[in-house]
Amino acid sequence: MSFRRFALATTAALSAVPALADVNVYTTRQPELIQPVMDAFTAETGIEVTLSYIDGGLVERLEAEGSRSPADLVMTVDIANLQRIVDAGVVQAVDSDVLTSAIPADLRSPDNLWFGLTTRARIIYASRDRVAEGEVTTYEDLASDTWEGRICTRSGTHNYNLALLSAVIAHVGEDGARDWAAGLRENLARKPEGNDRAQVRAIWAGECDIAIGNTYYMGKMLESEEQTEWANSVRIVLPTFEDGGTHVNVSGVAMTQAAPSRDEAVQLMEFLVSPQAQAIYAETNYEYPVLESAEISELVASWGEITPDTTSLDEIAANRGTALRIIEEVDYDG
């Protein structure tokens, strides 16, 4: 065969091999939080990942785009957000033995419509100077008059606090949860405002003694020169329910109905629960991996051993409407 004929034949053979498609991800998480794990996926597979940060209106955007959507996957946080995309019908089921074997059943949709990637705990930040060790140990303690005028929180209508109240409902019923929310409101040092980091700053400034927040914010504050002082003014308490464990929520991924690069998107989903990716993801975001064999970062491990509450995420999602009504009834945000 002549060189020319060989070259043409080789070119034809190569052109017959389908090119790898990029994976497009809509994310409500800041892209820098998940870029390291995407870079690792690209390095291993050669498949590029494009992250599009959607700060608000994620469901509405997917509904408007319909079958023309360029998005293959959605990554978001909190069971309420995951349930919302399921209820809107903008995601599809993914049948994967890799995903179902890696992720515990209580951290994924029973219909394979969403899959948990990491978990975070809703915990107590306590002043190192003004709160003694063991002085607060349960979520129920937060409604005790011991803490009158000493607690800071963000808005009661935020998804993180609604999920916690939804777990309270699961443990003590609607009436008990209403009493708890009213007691917590009476113990507030100020009107709810700001994000979780702002509550720790308020402790540092002496405005309150304890606050409710997510675990990973401690790691994020320690990364910031300005916020390190806030972080060092508190310690983490992993509270439990009197008849249960520590409330945890989830970050997760789902495949869109459109998913133009479905096969590559499945590859990415499966990579995200690999030991390598779980370690990177959990380390970068100071969260807990869903894969039991994955390593927890040294900093997260230093906060203490956690016993997650067994209330199902499905039940927490189902209780959200009741939780929102309770927050409004007790006028939590004033």
Q: Sort 112 into a burial class: Cβ within 10 Å, 0-12 / 13-18 / 19+.
A: middle
CA distance 263 to 267: 6
> How do beta strands 248-256 and 73-77 pair?
antiparallel
Question: Is there a single domain that holds both residue 51 and residue 125?
Answer: no
> Distances in Å between the alpha carbon of 264 and those of 24, 143, 285, 295?
10, 49, 24, 26
Question: Is there a single domain that holds both residue 126 and residue 208?
Answer: yes
CB 64 within 8 A of CB 110: no
Question: Is there a single domain that holds both residue 210 and residue 319?
Answer: yes
Question: Is there a single domain that holds both residue 82 and residue 170?
Answer: no
> How do beta strands 115-127 and 248-256 pair?
antiparallel
Question: Is there a single domain that holds both residue 188 and residue 321?
Answer: yes
CA distance 23 to 263: 9
User: Domain containing 201: what range?
Assistant: 121-247+307-329
Is residue 7 situated within a structural domain?
no
CA distance 265 to 186: 48
In sequence order, the 6+-apart residues with CB closer than 8 A to the CB of 127 are 203, 209, 210, 233, 234
In sequence order, the 6+-apart residues with CB closer than 8 A to the CB of 202 are 152, 189, 190, 194, 208, 211
Total number of domains in the chain: 2
pTM for the full predicted model: 0.88
pLDDT by residue for the chain (334 residues), tens only, comes to 544 454 444 444 444 445 678 999 999 988 888 899 999 999 999 999 999 999 889 999 999 999 999 999 999 999 999 999 999 999 999 999 999 999 999 999 999 999 999 999 999 999 999 999 999 999 999 999 999 999 999 999 999 999 999 999 999 999 999 999 999 999 999 999 999 999 999 999 999 999 999 999 999 999 999 999 999 999 999 999 999 999 999 999 999 999 999 999 999 999 999 999 999 988 888 999 999 999 889 999 999 999 999 999 999 999 999 999 999 999 999 9
Is residue 153 situated within a structural domain?
yes
